[in-house]
Amino acid sequence: MWLVCWGSASCVSMARGDEDAADPSDYLYRAVIVDCRITVAQLATAFRIDDRRLVSAGHPFEDIQSFTLTNVKGEIVQAELVHLVPGKDLAVLELVEPVSGGAVQLANEEVAAQTAVSIPTFNSDGFLEINDAFAVRRAQVTLNGENERRSVELEGVIGPGDSGAPILHDGDVVGVVFASTRGAETGWAVALPEIEGALANAGTEALPLTCPEDD
């Protein structure tokens, strides 16, 4: 059993958007990750862009022992990590077996500043929610002065496990959540050009999941 919760602005956005846009319940997945150093299972979100490939944030998949994916019905699906780009904070996954059902599409262009967007994700009870958000501006973001990535600043609630969730405009992906700030009232998403670059360079062979040796 699963539940979809809609915010008022999201309802309007979905009604006015592309009628052919895929339903998030078809393409959204929860990743449960066993980290090498953290004993409690970590959560992230991933979304499917065709019958096998998924996109997520990169940092949840760094230095891990294993991960599992579940769809909104709670069914486990088998997947492998095939590409990791730490500098851009993006990961590409691939399902072991292809699945039918609608996949979300990447947008044709970057989202404009001051634009209403939505974020499909899982709430604390594991149910799918569509949360309202706002793309404030586009910017270049760096971590410790390195690894510049094209990003979108967001206004909206971003909680634990939302890393990897898609940012949607008119039903298409314009970003991937990678961080929250100011008590989860604002955050950041990797922008569309970085997603396209990660997908263009992704292979199909599974990457080994190994823990780094202690110094």
Strands 28-35 and 128-143: unpaired
**Residue predicted with more confidence, 91 or 8:** 91
Which range is least confidently modeled, 4-13, 84-93, 184-193, 206-215? Answer: 4-13
Average pLDDT, the chain: 87
Domains of the chain: 4-21+105-198 (2.40.10.10), 26-102 (2.40.10.10)
Percent of the chain's residues with pLDDT above 90: 71
- Given a cut of 70, whether residue 96 has pLDDT beyond it is yes
Which pLDDT does position 14 carry in this prediction?
A: 40
pLDDT in tens, 114-135: 999 999 999 988 899 999 999 9
- Per mean pLDDT, which range of 37-41, 53-57, 203-207, 211-215 is the poorest? 211-215
